[in-house]
């Protein structure tokens, strides 16, 4: 597994012109909505039907951003540009000996609870090495979240044939300047988008990550 990862990512860094864009996202509204949704989850045999994580909402927000900016949901090939009809989001999962990216298919059209339950199932089976090839091969983009380790920000390496990968840092309390110019404190998350500049250039990447930031900071938009 390590040999495969080394070969693919070395090839990526040597052949893909990486371009990086970073935004800071205010998480306060998202955390409040997540708490409300989890509190409303139906309970069966003492267990809630779902329990959303911030990462589940990141997956949904990124998928919806790519739906809103479809030109960024693309892959570069030597013969043509491939534009994807669906936002199939690979999610990096650490397993013994390496890394694998199970895929949430057509994530922009799935509910947050569906994404959450699918992700838990895929991650559990990934760690037990029970994923089917079609569950981790392909996809149109990826998300790598190291926030649970306290990492503030980082740049992820693109996994071809994807043209984008979103690197998600930890949400942390930071001082902010409010719209009226006053100072305040908010939970802020830094997110860096790596793009294959052949397929997604700076302006297009900026449009996509701005759409992502909008969904994160106005999370009710993910419920429609």
* Residue numbers annotated as active site: 197
Can you tell me whether residue 106 is helix, strand or coil? coil
Q: How far apart are CA 77 and CA 68, in angstroms?
A: 23
Rounded CA-CA distance 185/139 in Å is 37
Please answer whether residues 5 and 20 qualify as being in contact, where contact means their C-beta atoms are separated by less than 8 angstroms: no
Beta strands in 27-109 (DSSP E): 43-44, 47-48, 74-76, 81-83, 89-91, 93-95, 98-100, 103-104
Q: Is the peptide bond before 161 cis (omega within 30 degrees of 0)?
A: yes
């Amino acid at each position: 597994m390590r040999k495969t990862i080394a070969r693919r990512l070395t090839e990526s860094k040597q052949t893909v012109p990486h371009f990086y864009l970073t935004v800071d996202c205010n998480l306060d509204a998202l955390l409040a909505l997540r708490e409300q949704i989890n509190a409303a989850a139906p309970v069966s045999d003492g267990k809630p039907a779902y329990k959303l994580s911030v990462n589940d909402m990141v997956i949904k927000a990124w998928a919806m951003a790519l739906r809103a900016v479809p030109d960024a949901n693309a892959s570069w090939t030597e013969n043509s540009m491939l534009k994807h009809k669906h936002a199939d989001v690979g999610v990096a999962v650490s397993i013994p000996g390496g890394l694998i990216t199970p895929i949430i298919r057509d994530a922009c059209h799935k509910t947050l609870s569906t994404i959450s339950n699918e992700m838990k199932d895929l991650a559990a089976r990934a760690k037990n090495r029970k994923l089917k090839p079609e569950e981790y091969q392909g996809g149109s983009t990826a998300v790598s979240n190291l926030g649970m380790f306290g990492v503030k920000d980082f740049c992820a390496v693109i996994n071809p044939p994807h043209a984008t990968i979103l690197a998600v840092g930890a949400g942390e309390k930071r001082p902010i300047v409010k719209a009226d110019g006053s100072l305040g404190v908010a939970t802020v998350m830094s997110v860096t988008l790596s793009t294959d500049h052949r397929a997604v250039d700076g302006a297009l990447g900026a449009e996509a990550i701005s759409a992502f930031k909008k969904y994160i900071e106005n999370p009710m938009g993910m419920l429609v």
